[in-house]
Amino acid sequence: MAKIKVIVNGAAGKMGLETVKAISNADDLDLAGVCDVTLVDAPIKDLVKEVKNDLKIQKSLTELIKSTKAQVVVDFTHPHSALENVKAILENGAHAVVGTTGLSMDNLEEIKKACSKNNVNCIVAPNFAIGAVLMMKFSKEAARYMPEVEIIEMHHDQKADAPSGTAIKTAELILSEINEVKRPDIKEIEKVKGVRGGSLGGINIHSVRLKGYVASQEVIFGGLGQTLKIRHDSINRASFMPGVVLAIREVTKVKGLVYGLENLM
């Protein structure tokens, strides 16, 4: 069976480097190219010892897709450039696996249309960790019985967007189950502005950004005389790689846009 040819966009970043390593270790995947706006022309094997070929980091994603004829591009870049990157991938005939967060629902609708227009597919996952997907699944189920809930998400201090895509996706899944979160009818006074977090459909979300974290989230449900906490912690970025590899393998088989890794599990 022929290997799937894959490009990693954002290859010089922390998630990009982990993805390059995971692809290099997978027997059915072929690292066809690496792209980034930094460390251009640097040999990727100098950064990831698992790489056996002489690939150098390229700056132009479009040119790299055309020259390699890659089937799949994995994007771990920046929220500000994510949509344009995904559109470039799809418009050049490759399938996209997107871990960059910060895409809005309007962005997803644009991606869906681009998939249809170019007859390619895209998987967008707010979180690729299998445990995080299960955390979201269990939270949706718990909400039926304990509908009062808040979310605390904790990430490293270099994360650009807040709240995290995982927190937003978790809130969306909960709201798909219970429609609305009923809160006590009291007049809250914030002595420090924003201390109660941001609200999505009545669900308060709190974002923590500190050195030492990779990615953690706690979903706290409150009920009469009890609380329930569902928590997931990514200790290091290797935790995301089984999900990334799964998405690479499945993106050629799905149809159009798939939002959330849970749709592949």
Q: Which residues are designated catalytic? A: 155, 159
The interaxial angle of helices 82-91 and 105-118, nearest 10 deg, is 10
Instruction: Give 152's contacts (C-beta < 8 A, 6+ positions apart).
Output: 205, 206, 208, 217, 218, 220
* Per-position DSSP letters for 85-139, written without gaps between them: HHHHHHHTT-EEEE------HHHHHHHHHHHHHHT--EEE-S---HHHHHHHHHH
Helix (H, G, I), strand (E, B) or coil at 181: coil
Residue type, 157: D
Peptide bond into 126 cis (omega under 30): no
**Torsional class of 105: left (φ above 0), alpha (ψ -120 to 50), beta (otherwise):** alpha
Residue 20's Cα: distance from chain center in Å? 16
CA distance 193 to 209: 17
Taking a C-beta distance cutoff of 8 angstroms, is the pair 121, 254 a contact?
yes
For 123, 132, 141, 152, the CA distances from 219, given in Å and listed in that order, are 25, 11, 12, 6
